[in-house]
Amino acid sequence: MIILGVDPGLTRCGVGVVEAGGSRRLSFIHVDVVRSDPHISQDLRLLAIYNGLSEKLERFAPDAVSIERVFAQDNRNTVLGTAQAAGLAMLAAAQRGIPVALHTPTEAKLAITGNGKAQKVQVERMVMRFLNLNEMPTPADAADALALAICHALRPAGALQGGEREEHLTAAQRQWALAAQRTKRRRINGDRGM
């Protein structure tokens, strides 16, 4: 399965491509940053990001696209551009019939390190380890895109498909699955008024 990760941004939109094989073996395929010029109009910047993402989707024909879920930030302009770039990635994938998954930074950290509050350097080391890289890709947007692709490959829901049992999950996947179960129980109990 080929997974294309997207760390959305209006100036720099990270793109990372990995292949998830049997026994959760991950292979590095590609990493890059799609850029737009901050000195041109917003519409042309969005077009540049869309065209760059479309080119990557055509070139790598992924089976899934994993995009960072946009979360609130103090800087309204930054979150707006990030949300627009995420929307463009979803649109480009949907036009090609490619499934899209949204993952929060906490989910990515948890899937990769087993700790949803891991420091950036810890995530980077694990990305390098998973993909057998000698150095971390730069800028950070590119590295984050690889982390999102890895996160999607390691998510428990995918790991349990195809008849696999829980004992075949990594420690990080087990922790993530437990956290997801707790959240689900809280929602159910909250719905019952408990």
Backbone angles phi, psi at 178, to 5 degrees: -65, -40
167 a known binding residue?
no
Q: Catalytic: 167?
A: no
Q: Catalytic: 124?
A: no
Q: Catalytic: 141?
A: yes
Closest of 60, 150, 54 to residue 93, by C-alpha: 54
- Spot the catalytic one: 68, 107, 124, 144: 68
Structure-token match 């551009």, residue found: 81
74 a known binding residue?
no
- C-alpha angle 79-80-85 in degrees, rounded to nearest 5: 95
Q: How far apart are CA 47 and CA 182, in angstroms?
A: 41
- Spot the catalytic one: 107, 124, 141, 144: 141
- Spot the catalytic one: 7, 107, 124, 144: 7
Q: Looking at residue 1, what DSSP letter applies? A: -
CA atoms within 13 A on the CB side of 80: 4
- Which residues contribute to the annotated binding site for Mg(2+)? 7, 68, 141
Catalytic positions, please?
A: 7, 68, 141
- Which residues contribute to the annotated binding site? 7, 68, 141
